[in-house]
Chains A and B, each alone.
Chain A
Amino acid sequence: MKKNICKYLLKISLLVASLLFTTQISAEELRWAADAESGAPYVFYDAKNPTQIIGFEYDLVQILAKKLNRNPRFVQNAWDGLVPGLDREEYDIAINGIEITEDRKKVVLFSNPYYATNLQLVVRQDELRFKNLSDLAGFKVGTLTGALSEKTLRAETGIEILLYESEANAHQDLSLGRSDAVLFDAPIAKYYSEVDSRFKILPTVIGSMTYGIAISKKNQELQKKLNSALQQMIDSGELKEIYERWAIWNSPTAQLFNDTSPTRTPPAEFENYKNNLNSNRGLAEKFKIYKKTFPILATAALKTVQVSFCAMIVAIIGGLVLVGARLYGGSFLRTFVILFVELIRGTPLLLQLFFIFYALPSLGVEFSPFWAAVLGLGINYSVQESEIYRSGLLSVHQNQIEAAKLLGLNSWQSFWSVQAPQAFRISLPPMTTDFIALIKDSSLVSVITMVELTKSYSTLASTYYDYIGFAVIAAILYMLIGLPLVLVSKKLEKSNK
């Protein structure tokens, strides 16, 4: 009988496994990852139609996928997570101005380079002091985190490096005089500095680099296919045409492709981009944009609500288990809980999210981005919840517990009828504060491919160069999300008085 059940279970699990497997195969998708916040001209949202992704890499992937006979599907991930995310198989390739370096080659495969470029220094329009990197010793130079430009700056001596997440912020600080220069990949300089009359690009080219498509080490077959498709695109001139439309065809790439033919295609996309760049929009126009983009923010807010709500439930259950083990468990369990609490409390949430999402899979434990986010936030907050419950339980007057004992209540009855309800009342205000903090901390889950409210805000803000307007909308949405929590807790507090 037992054997039969085992067989039956085995059959079912095989069936499920094969179903999962076949759906993966039959989809024939080419899942490509990038950070849409990384900006123009790589992969970014179209200001005219903010749900649409554009960029020269977007164009490249469309043709590439066609040549591979697969449907391209975009997967959003924070730029820092693009390479580690490949191992999780959430996506097949990552393409987002990722420089081919020896370090990265150790962890992922790269296609042949699809673009070659240099770094360039951007300074204020009236700047006369600097010609080259070596002139900047003793000055402040900004750049983007994690990019090759950061490494280049580190190799120089005497430069104070300022790191930015977005091009817009780097430029802002440059114009305010908080930095003296910024170092960018040439395409970024073209799209963000050349179009802005406050800045000029220094003609000196610095270093050289090539972009490659990153592929999981397990996927050598895909690497081969990508390389042959890329070669076709180079040979047919399709790739060059993309670069010409985006006005980024340059001599290093011409050398790379061994293509010295004259340019033919007008830079239509670059012109489009420039036309959309009007940052001095009137109020009416701004509100039109807010109206148009509101569904994007609302969807992202919904994601924030979902993640936060599920994480709160995990936090409550986890908190109860932890506090139970700590106060009523044996000495072994108690020591374990104390260590666990210190470990979680003593390390950043961001690190924990990275660990769950990128490191656990290598130990054979894999969660979807949503559940990794829920678990990461939930576990982190369960520790704080357990401490809140613990202080609540401990602050119940000893007389109350002794009175219960004298009335003949056993310890279980005393706990549930006397101690727990009073502890709950004491714990309610700090719990509310804690959960509102959780909602705000949920913005960190953008590092594991989740597009939530803050990520949406910063993407939209960088698309439209409107950091204030979108911030106000996002702030209001956050407060609206937290509001029911506050109201419920107020009501509970009242009814418990």
Chain B
Amino acid sequence: MNIKNLSSQLSQDFQLKNISFNLHSGEILTLLGRSGSGKSSLLRCLAGLQNYQADICTIPRPLGMVFQSANLFAHLTLEENIKLALIKTQKKTNSEAQKICEQVLEQVQLSHRGKSKPHQLSGGEQQRGAIARTLALVPKVILYDEPTSALDPELVEEVFDLMLSLKKQGLTQIIVSHETRVVKKVSDFVGVMNQGELKWFGALADLKPQLHLMEPDEKKYLQIFT
């Protein structure tokens, strides 16, 4: 994934400015930054939900995205959720879709919950279900917008394990999160966003020595993660 000088006017007084970074397949980037720094907006740009300009913007496709909540279609069972796009957009037959569905459900360890509606699933199961739905389309990139912030602490681990196993399969993943464990356990890289700009990009280990260069309140925020 190669992004060079991505900008986007989000509202009259807020914009993303000159964002550039590179990721290889199998790498995980965590975007840090306080509320309103533009992390989620950057994800939405990458997902194509938000207009932007960029000098270079190479994003491998297909691409999947997992939201903080309300990912799964509320009126459909987990299986139906997964099969919907397969049948509607990839023109797969029902039995083909069913096969894929069973595979991805097994991958996220939800084979036994396929017939459940989203509201019958726990928060962690819902997030894993949403990831399974994305996986069914064989994505090269998955974007997560605060995927664990609505989850109970013990459920967070479920999602982390899944991210790591996807990493092994070569998926590129970008995570927006305030979760210190994400940064420590799963990320290869950390991106620090502030006022619409990517202020810093690199390995977590490299961040600590440079903290003294940051503004005081920025430093205070980032110290939690290092």
List the interface of chain A (C-beta within 8 A of B): 397, 399-400, 402-409, 413, 417-418, 421-422, 425, 496-497
Contacts and interface: CB of A to CB of B under 8 A. Distances in A.
B149 to A, nearest CB: 14
A425 B75 contact: yes
Max chain B C-beta neighbours (<10 A), residue from A399, A422, A496: A399
Interface residues of B, number: 26
B85 interface: yes
Given A413-B88, A417-B84, A497-B117, A403 B137 contact: no
A327 B95 CA distance: 36
Contact of A407 (B70, B85, B119): B85
A399 B89 contact: no
Nearest to A421: B75
B74 A409 contact: no
Contacts of A422: 73-75
A400 B74 contact: yes
A406 B63 contact: yes
B73 A418 contact: yes
Contacts, number: 57
Nearest to A423: B75
Chain A contact residues, majority secondary structure:
helix
B67 A403 contact: yes
Contact of A399 (B69, B84, B90): B69
Contacts of B84: 407, 409, 417-418
Contacts of B47: 406
Contacts of B74: 397, 400, 422
Contacts of B62: 408
Contacts of A403: 65, 67, 71-73, 130
Contact of B49 (A397, A405, A408): A405
Contacts of A406: 47-49, 63-65, 134
Given A407-B133, A417-B84, A422-B73, A402 B89 contact: no
A403 B133 CA distance: 10
A409 B137 CA distance: 12
Interface in B119-168: 119, 130, 133-134, 137
Contacts of B70: 397, 399-400
Given A402-B49, A421-B75, A422-B74, A409 B69 contact: no
A319 to B, nearest CB: 20
Nearest to B64: A406
Smallest CB-CB A-B distances: 4 pairs: A407-B85, A408-B89, A397-B70, A399-B70
A300 B93 CA distance: 53
A408 B138 CA distance: 13
A370 to B, nearest CB: 37
Nearest to A404: B73
A4 B4 CA distance: 69
Given A406-B49, A407-B84, 16 more contacts: A400-B70, A400-B74, A402-B49, A402-B65, A403-B67, A405-B49, A406-B47, A406-B64, A408-B137, A409-B85, A413-B89, A417-B88, A421-B75, A422-B74, A422-B75, A497-B117
Contacts of B117: 497
A409 B64 contact: no
B8 to A, nearest CB: 16
Contacts of B90: 408
Interface in B73-130: 73-75, 84-85, 88-90, 117, 119, 130
B88 A399 contact: no
8 contacts: A399-B69, A402-B65, A403-B65, A406-B48, A406-B49, A408-B89, A413-B89, A417-B73
A407 B48 CA distance: 12
A397 B130 CA distance: 15
A399 B70 CA distance: 6
A367 to B, nearest CB: 39
B49 A400 contact: no
A496 B49 contact: no
A232 B137 CA distance: 92
B57 to A, nearest CB: 17
A405 B47 CA distance: 10
Contacts of B119: 497
A406 B46 CA distance: 11
Contacts of A425: 75
A399 B146 CA distance: 13
B75 A409 contact: no
Query: Taking each of A400, A403, A407, which has the highest tally of chain B beta carbons within 10 Å of its own beta carbon?
Result: A407
B137 A407 contact: yes
Contacts of A408: 62, 85, 89-90, 137
A407 B82 CA distance: 10
Contacts of B72: 403
Contact of B67 (A399, A417, A421, A497): A399
Contacts of A413: 88-89
A405 B73 CA distance: 12
A407 B47 CA distance: 11
Interface centre among A400, A413, A422 (most CB of B within 10 A): A400
Contacts of A421: 75
Nearest to B139: A406
A417 to B, nearest CB: 6
A385 B67 CA distance: 32
B172 to A, nearest CB: 16
Given A422-B75, A425-B75, A409 B67 contact: no
A432 B130 CA distance: 33
A47 to B, nearest CB: 57
B212 to A, nearest CB: 39
Contacts of A407: 84-85, 89, 133-134, 137
Contacts of A417: 73, 84, 88
A407 B87 CA distance: 11
A73 B127 CA distance: 72
A405 B44 CA distance: 12
Contacts of B65: 402-403, 406
A400 B145 CA distance: 14
Contacts of A405: 49
Centre residue among B48, B70, B137 by max chain A CB count within 10 A: B70
A402 B134 CA distance: 13
Q: Select the residue from A403, A404, A408, A413 with max chain B CB neighbours within 10 A.
A: A403
Nearest to A497: B117
Given A406-B49, A417-B88, A399 B63 contact: no
A496 B76 CA distance: 9
